[in-house]
Amino acid sequence: MCKKIPFVLIFCVILALIGGKIFPLSVVSLFLAISVTLKSVVVFVLPALIFCLIFSTFQRLGKSASKIFAIALILLCCSNFLAAYLSHFVGEMVYAMNLSLSQTSAKDGLKPLFDFQLPKIVSNTVALVASMIFGIFVPKVTPDGARKLSIVFDKFVSHFLKCIQLIIPFFLFGFFLKMQADGIVATLVCQYASIVAIIIIAIVAYIFILYFAVNGMDVRATFTAMKNMIPAVVCAFGTMSSASALPYTLIAVEKNSKNKSLAKSIVSITTNIHLIGDCIAIPVFIYAILKSYGAPQPSQFLYLAFAVQFVIAKFSVAAIPAGGIIVMLPIIERCFGFDYAMSSLIFSLYVIMDPICTSANVFGNGAFAQLIDRIATRFHVK
């Protein structure tokens, strides 16, 4: 089944792009409702998945677990900061261009025929903290019980991933239908081609360098690791949600890593806070809008202060489409003096770019999981 996943997803994308033009809106709305429902199920189960993965990892790693996860958190902040700071140079290049961006519409677009949402009982953050606490103390109280519980959790994760592989193509199909019906695909291709092209080139170059470095500058291993991530990236593009693509991301990092349980646990932690795509796209948009409105180029000190706040704000990003820009708007307005029109424009542009940003985020999460896996392997953590 895993080998067929890319072809199934590509078929769903092509069918949706065609169907979005010829299907009645009622049919598109029905498929979108199915996708929204399936997404609700995935998001509902996600805290349990995070708890199981991290608890099992702590149980296996023992005393090394706290150290590895502390290193992961520090490197995560460094990774977000580095991407945000380097994108400043791309932004300066964009600022030097002759730009005149027009106002776009941030409409919600087509609505699902029905909206079934499972309640959010436990947040991902609570599940993360609880799993670490239980992972540290349960093995000390009852080592045998912790091992047995870990086996049960591993079986749950395995069965969940097998089930999710069957439903995600249907899940993806509805969201791509909506994108085509709302004209988002056409807008990306036609209206903002130059800015989108610059951002895509910057993202691709940055991600390739990440994978190249993590894979020991081995070109063949780099392309293999990136190829394994393609199903997750395609899913992220269609759903605009890193959390929804998590099942495929877990499968990919398992292929790319030696310490598979650790790598999967790292991905479950970084899904909503390690956002490479946002760190590159948002600063570039800021520079483009400043130039378009005739505002002065930010100083190095101002941008550095913004980058620090940017990294901190990423810990509160909502796991929803456009969540990355929603939490950033107050910081952007405070640092760069954006008024209502400028804020509306960057929000609209981000909504259009959200599929690409989310895909980049998932790609970056895969590279980060590999990085932590390499560090753990180097220190002989099994």
pLDDT in tens, 227-265: 888 888 888 887 777 777 887 888 888 888 887 777 777
pLDDT band at 165 (very low <50, low <70, confident <90, very high): low
User: Which residues fall within 8 angstroms of residue 291, CB to CB, at 6 or more apart?
Assistant: 94, 95, 97, 99, 297
Q: Which CATH architecture has domain 2-378?
A: Orthogonal Bundle (1.10)
- Residue whose structure tokens are 């790319």: 256
For the chain, give every domain's residue range.
2-378
Question: pLDDT digit string (tens) for 57-99?
Answer: 677 666 666 677 778 778 888 888 998 889 989 988 888 877 6
Closest CA to 232 of 181, 136, 165: 165
pLDDT at 106 (0 to 100): 44
Question: pLDDT digit string (tens) for 284-301?
Answer: 989 988 887 788 888 888
Compare 230 and 131 and report the one with higher pLDDT: 230
Q: 154 pLDDT exceeds 80?
A: no
Q: How far apart are CA 373 and CA 258, in angstroms?
A: 7
Compare 189 and 248 and report the one with higher pLDDT: 248
Q: Across all residues in the chain, what is the average pLDDT?
A: 78
Percent of the chain's residues with pLDDT above 70: 81
Closest CA to 321 of 141, 220, 178, 137: 178
> By the 8 A CB rule, do 264 and 60 touch?
no
> By the 8 A CB rule, do 368 and 76 touch?
yes
- Does residue 289 sit in helix, strand or coil? helix
